[in-house]
Amino acid sequence: MKAWILSKNGIDNLNLKEVEKPQVKAGQVLVKVKAVGLNPVDSMVIDLIPVNSEKIPGAEFAGEIEEVGEGVKELKKGDRVSIYNRYFDSTCSYCKSGNEMLCDNGYIFSIGSNGGLAEYIVIDGRNAFKLPDSVNFELAASLPVAALTSYNALERAKVQKNEFVVVIGASGNTGVFALQFAKMLGAKTIAISSKNWVKDFGADYVIGYENALEEVRKITNSHMADVVIESIGEKFWDLGYSLLGKNGRMVAFGTETGSNAKIDISQLYSKQLSILGSTSGSVKQFSEVVNKSKDLKIKTWKKFNFQETKEAFKENSSKEKDGRIIIEL
């Protein structure tokens, strides 16, 4: 089979090669990859995380079951699936409490093992989730990272009906899902974004970065945000923090613009604020995300075929990027 192999850090060391098709063992399935969604984690794998041995990147993907190993009961050849993209041991205290994303021995596919930038991948059957018929592979390849991360973030913040949820970077991979899930929870959503199209993804209000504080004050009648979803890191941390009202919760899960932040402790206690981190999500949450996926949508900016993967990565850091980049197989 063909696979993109990373031999050393740097996009120039990513090459399309012919490699052996992986063999299915008991409990596993062979997935024919149909779509891969690009994420910041892929750029980290290519550029930053040391490459100890050759590996296949691609953290977020979906496909079709090609072969089923002994003992896998719920899946059959031809099933269309999205992939919970983490290994977990099922035995540590975090797994036992339903927090597989925190597993003591866990890792993300493409970091601790091969990812989805290949014609086929073998995974445990428990990681493959059948898609609703109406969900295409483009969307399915946006569920494991983009959708699940937002879903967990909103659950961490315990978003309630009619609360004001502010999404910073609302047109980003996770932002569009944060808006959609927040609407499903009955929240009132304020998108901070330069893109007006986020209204089609559940933004009740779209405001710019420059006057965000004033705008949020006006929209909420000085109540301010109950929840701020912060996926960008350092650059807008202070802004996000300043938007919180009493009992406000800020959830962070990205550091694209840096990872250092300060907090004003007096604001923290006098307004009873909560700062929360979230990472990926649990198996249960992923199964809920897949079930809800028939009511979700994404905005794709550009699609590339498998041979054009390098071009896709170059475009992924483009300033003009306006929606997702998907590689189709």
Nearest to 220 by CA among 164, 159, 160, 267: 164
Residues 31-90 binding Zn ion (CB under 5 A) are 88-89
Closer of 92 and 213 to Zn ion (Cβ): 92
Closer of 30 and 103 to Zn ion (Cβ): 103
Beta carbon of residue 101, minimum distance to Zn ion (angstroms, whole number):
10
Beta carbon of residue 96, minimum distance to Zn ion (angstroms, whole number):
8
Closer of 55 and 86 to Zn ion (Cβ): 86
Beta carbon of residue 105, minimum distance to Zn ion (angstroms, whole number):
6
CB 38 within 8 A of CB 44: no
Q: Report the run of H or E that residue 119 belongs to, with start and end.
A: none
CB 194 within 8 A of CB 208: yes
Residues whose CB falls within 8 Å of the CB of residue 245, separated by 6 or more in sequence, listed in order: 164, 220, 223, 224, 225, 226, 271
Using CB under 5 A as the criterion, what x/- string covers residues 281-320 for binding Zn ion? ----------------------------------------
Binds Zn ion by CB under 5 A, chosen from 62, 83, 103, 252: 103
Beta carbon of residue 272, minimum distance to Zn ion (angstroms, whole number):
33
Sequence length of the chain is 329
What is the crossing angle of helices 283-292 and 148-156, to 10°?
110
Q: Show the DSSP H helices in the chain as ranges.
A: 40-47, 93-96, 137-140, 148-156, 175-184, 212-219, 237-242, 265-270, 283-292, 309-316
**Is residue 95 near Zn ion by the rule CB under 5 A?**
yes
- Judged by CB under 5 A, the stretch of 50-58, 69-77, 91-99, 196-204 that binds Zn ion is 91-99
Phi and psi torsions of 328, nearest 5°: -110, 140
Using CB under 5 A as the criterion, what x/- string covers residues 258-277 for binding Zn ion? --------------------
- Judged by CB under 5 A, the stretch of 95-103, 117-125, 196-204, 249-257 that binds Zn ion is 95-103
The SS3 assignment for 177 reads helix
Residues near Zn ion (CB under 5 A) are 88-89, 92, 95, 103
